[in-house]
Chains A and B, each alone.
Chain A
Amino acid sequence: MFERIKPMLVKEFIQLLRDPKMRGVLFLMPIIQVLVFGYAVTTDVKHVATGVYDLDKSVASRELIARFVKSGYFDIVEYVGDDDRARDLLDRGKALLVLRMNKGFEDELRGGRSAALQIILDGTDSNTAGVVLNYSAKIAERFSQEVLLTRFPRLKAMSANPGGVELRTRAWFNENLESRNFYVPGVIAVIVLLITLMLTSMAVVREKEIGTIEQIMVTPITPLEFILGKTVPFALVGFGDVLLITVIAVLWFEVPIRGSLLLLVFATALYLMTTLGIGLFISTVSETQQQAMMTVFFFYLPAVLLSGFMFPIANMPMIVQWLTYLNPLRHFLVIVRGIFLKGVGPAILWPQLLALGVTGVITLWLASRRFQKTLA
């Protein structure tokens, strides 16, 4: 059996690596993806472009503005003089928010009344807007507290936070809350899925399309050997990409890897069974490479978006949440992030490993059954 698979493997490798552009795609693409995710993708909200519309121009109003600047979250881009200009800043997206203080701001504060700070916020990106509101509320709160203390010096005798509750937060697994620690390990799962799906499905369909599959059918190779020949090279490429991304993540981006590398390799093997199985399955239902590609895309995009890679699963409607359990990417992501960030092992990850193993066996079995029918 092996002497028949070997030439097939050699042929596949030659076909795969013959084209220098293809070599580039296979190994440069993962590198570029990791770099993009490591550098560009950040959900941290810092240096928010801020416009200031200060009609009071008093000591108090300047003091409050200074608080916003000092927090490090707000960068003032312009002091505006009228409503039109403020509107324009937001329309053009030059500023995300405009702080507005009306005339009499200081007098109100001095007089012991409530002075109003208006925050006009561009809500287009609701997520950032929510974070910005939170920051501003905190700054305003602290400012208020201090004004109260100067008004009622008696309060000073009590603790700074009389009778209140102090919240001490700690983030586990990713102490500095860096986005890259979340995304970079995830790239492993996404890239392996895309590469193996496309390579397997199109490699088989290409033989159909060009007609070379008939030549293979007249050789003594059995369907099982053909399937092995069409999957093993791509599985190896998949492993190579996992290794490559892991090295870049750990050495270049300093993403911690706290768990076992061996477990990562084992989980990758389970995951590859599923993705190769799906790739083969797609090849059996496609006649042309165009159809295969569209089908891959049709599977790939929902798989990525409904995996928790970027969008939290907990926020999806219940039905969709149930659906995501069928998504191998979801389970593999939990494993990868568990190994990298949490350093947990099979004791905690066994449900995901089991799910991957089961889907892997089922998809491979289904695909090869269908496959043998199409070949025969």
Chain B
Amino acid sequence: MKPRRVWAIARKEFIHVRRDPRSLGMAIAIPMLLLVLFGYALTLDVDNVPLIVWDQSQSHASREFISRFGASRYFSLRAYAQSYRDLERAVDSANALAGLVIPRDFARDIEAGRGASVQLIVDGSDSNTATLAMGYADVVVQTYSQEVAIEARQRLGGARLRPPLDVQPRVWFNPDLESKNYIIPGLIAVIMMVIAALLTSLTVAREWERGTMEQLISTPVKGSELILGKLLPYFTIGMLDVVLAVLMGEFLFHVPLRGNVALLLGMGAIFLAGALSLGMVISIVTMSQLLASQLAMVFTFLPSFLLSGFMYAIGNMPTAIQVLTYLIPSRHFVALLKGIYLKGVGLEVLAVEAVLLACFGVAMMALAILRFEKKLV
């Protein structure tokens, strides 16, 4: 392998990139735009669940009870239903995600100390939101009950009661439980993976489709030199994206970066090399731009989104799929990013992930070089 020949190919690719400023612009602008858009728009926090109430009791007690829901930031009281049909319709058309039914005898039961029961109907289609909404409703009702109960007991026992078990939660790494703090590092991984693979997935296929590969074959350049030369310009663009993304995380979204920046960038470089090589392998195998781009999307977007632990905890998946996730580079990169960003840990904890990420990069590059055949087909 001669550096001079690698450089010649790299220069040729740089010129290609420069000649198509729109693609270059998109390669840099798309990740940034996506990060801004999603950083602001995407949140898994569930608050302001739209609620509709059917208050059959129409009493002081029921209104006091309903106001607890209205005051909680988790619910936003949208409407009062006059009948069960009303409530049903609101939930059917998704105007409300939850409906609260207060029985006719609510006030009487509360005053008599018998204990009342209310019904909460939740739109279960989105199971995640539904689970959280049910949990919040539980807390609102518990608090209300506790107050009623303690009042009753004080009337009975006289003394002021304190709950025997005092739960003291301490949340580490992300004390305010802001979903932004783990969505942004995860997004960096997903966007980089997709952009990197898309960038390179067309390069070899394009040469085949346009027939320029024949000209390259007639030159003395070797397969490995061609691959490396083609990777270089895209690696530069990708690293620029990584640096910009980290800067945006810091200055725009204020995601705490507790670990080492150099380690972050180093891992970013390894990840990028692997993702770019994956795109290259796809390009070499398919030899068609349409097919290559489809495959690049399939192999990168979905796995890095769903199976990387970015959004869905890997621990909850079936074992077979858990094993599969080890093959997905984004999984390791997401773990590294979260570790470096939020936990502030270094290689002493993240060594396994770093090694696996490097293995993926080396394997993909080797595969690209092995699969590439410099002959006419």
Cβ contact within 8 Å between B311 and A170: no
Within 8 Å by CB of B30, from A131, A298, A315, lies A298
Residue on A nearest B145 in the bound complex, by CB = A164
- Chain A CB within 8 A of B1 CB: no
Cβ contact within 8 Å between B44 and A311: yes
Cβ contact within 8 Å between B316 and A337: no
| Number of interchain pairs (Cβ within 8 Å) | 362
Cβ contact within 8 Å between A198 and B162: no
Among A29, A178, A298, A301, which residue has the most Cβ atoms of chain B within 10 A? A301
- Chain B CB within 8 A of A27 CB: no
Knowing A144-B163, A170-B121, A174-B127 touch, does A312 contact B46 (C-beta < 8 A)?
yes
Question: Which of B5-13, B107-115, B368-376 is found at the contact surface with chain A?
Answer: B107-115
Cβ contact within 8 Å between A165 and B141: yes
Question: Which of A41-49, A217-225, A358-366 is found at the contact surface with chain B?
Answer: A41-49
Within 8 Å by CB of B113, from A90, A93, A162, A210, lies A162
Question: Which of A4-12, A153-161, A244-252, A273-281 is found at the contact surface with chain B?
Answer: A153-161
Q: Mark A18-60, 1 if CB is under 8 A from B, else 0.
A: 0101100100010011001101111111111100000000000
- A39–B320 alpha-carbon span in the complex (Å): 10
Q: Mark B288-327, 1 if CB is under 8 A from A, else 0.
A: 1111011101100111001100011101111001000000
Size range of the chain B interface in the assembly:
35 or more
- Chain A CB within 8 A of B250 CB: no
Cβ contact within 8 Å between A174 and B343: no
Within 8 Å by CB of B127, from A91, A124, A182, A316, lies A182
Cβ contact within 8 Å between A92 and B45: no
What chain B residues lie within 8 Å of A124 (beta carbons)? 173-174, 181-182, 338, 342-343
- Chain B CB within 8 A of A129 CB: yes
Cβ contact within 8 Å between A122 and B289: no
Cβ contact within 8 Å between B125 and A128: no
- A19–B152 alpha-carbon span in the complex (Å): 77
Cβ contact within 8 Å between A174 and B118: no
- A174–B126 alpha-carbon span in the complex (Å): 8
Cβ contact within 8 Å between B23 and A334: no
Question: Which of B34-42, B267-275, B355-363 is found at the contact surface with chain A?
Answer: B34-42
Question: Which of B131-139, B220-228, B236-244 is found at the contact surface with chain A?
Answer: B131-139
Knowing A115-B164, A136-B167 touch, does A123 contact B293 (C-beta < 8 A)?
no
What chain A residues lie within 8 Å of B339 (beta carbons)? 91, 93
- A234–B159 alpha-carbon span in the complex (Å): 76
Within 8 Å by CB of A297, from B118, B172, B297, lies B297
- Chain B CB within 8 A of A344 CB: yes
Within 8 Å by CB of A198, from B126, B209, B290, B313, lies B290
- A314–B345 alpha-carbon span in the complex (Å): 35
Among A41, A126, A348, which residue has the most Cβ atoms of chain B within 10 A? A126
Residue on A nearest B324 in the bound complex, by CB = A40
Within 8 Å by CB of B135, from A116, A134, A210, A298, lies A134
- A74–B161 alpha-carbon span in the complex (Å): 30
Q: Mark A108-125, 1 if CB is under 8 A from B, else 0.
A: 010011111111111111
- Chain A CB within 8 A of B124 CB: yes
What chain A residues lie within 8 Å of B157 (beta carbons)? 152, 154
Min CB–CB distance A16 → chain B (angstroms) = 9
Cβ contact within 8 Å between A181 and B125: yes
- A178–B4 alpha-carbon span in the complex (Å): 58
- A320–B291 alpha-carbon span in the complex (Å): 33
Min CB–CB distance A88 → chain B (angstroms) = 8
Knowing A120-B170, A164-B149, A166-B117 touch, does A141 contact B142 (C-beta < 8 A)?
yes
Min CB–CB distance A347 → chain B (angstroms) = 9
Within 8 Å by CB of B122, from A91, A143, A172, lies A172
Q: Mark B55-82, 1 if CB is under 8 A from A, else 0.
A: 0000000000100000000000000000
Residue on A nearest B290 in the bound complex, by CB = A202
- Chain B CB within 8 A of A17 CB: no
What chain B residues lie within 8 Å of A152 (beta carbons)? 153, 157
Min CB–CB distance A342 → chain B (angstroms) = 6
Knowing A93-B335, A177-B124, A301-B34 touch, does A129 contact B174 (C-beta < 8 A)?
yes
Q: Mark A164-206, 1 if CB is under 8 A from B, else 0.
A: 1111111111110111011000000000001000110011001
Cβ contact within 8 Å between B173 and A294: no
- Chain A CB within 8 A of B84 CB: no
Cβ contact within 8 Å between B46 and A315: yes
Q: Mark A332-370, 1 if CB is under 8 A from B, else 0.
A: 001001000110100010000000000000000000000
Min CB–CB distance A159 → chain B (angstroms) = 5
- Chain B CB within 8 A of A302 CB: yes
Knowing A115-B166, A131-B131, A169-B137 touch, does A42 contact B298 (C-beta < 8 A)?
no
- A48–B316 alpha-carbon span in the complex (Å): 9
- A109–B162 alpha-carbon span in the complex (Å): 11
Min CB–CB distance A255 → chain B (angstroms) = 11
Cβ contact within 8 Å between A314 and B165: no
- Chain A CB within 8 A of B156 CB: yes
Cβ contact within 8 Å between A155 and B163: no
What chain B residues lie within 8 Å of A39 (beta carbons)? 317-318, 321
Min CB–CB distance B175 → chain A (angstroms) = 6
Within 8 Å by CB of A159, from B27, B94, B114, B129, lies B114
- Chain B CB within 8 A of A283 CB: no
Q: Mark B261-295, 1 if CB is under 8 A from A, else 0.
A: 00000000000000000000000001011110111
Knowing A124-B173, A177-B131 touch, does A143 contact B168 (C-beta < 8 A)?
no
- A40–B308 alpha-carbon span in the complex (Å): 11
Cβ contact within 8 Å between B46 and A122: no
What chain A residues lie within 8 Å of B206 (beta carbons)? 289-290
- A167–B174 alpha-carbon span in the complex (Å): 31
Nearest 6 Cβ contacts at the A-B interface: A164-B145, A171-B124, A123-B174, A174-B124, A43-B128, A123-B171
13 further A-B pairs in the complex, CB-CB below 8 A; given A127-B45, A320-B41: A19-B288, A25-B294, A125-B313, A154-B156, A161-B149, A163-B114, A164-B149, A165-B148, A167-B141, A174-B127, A289-B289, A302-B37, A314-B49
29 contacts between A and B (CB under 8 A): A21-B295, A25-B298, A32-B298, A43-B127, A43-B128, A47-B315, A91-B339, A116-B167, A121-B172, A124-B182, A124-B342, A129-B171, A134-B139, A140-B165, A151-B164, A155-B153, A162-B149, A164-B146, A167-B141, A171-B124, A182-B128, A210-B210, A289-B206, A291-B23, A294-B27, A301-B301, A314-B49, A315-B47, A342-B125
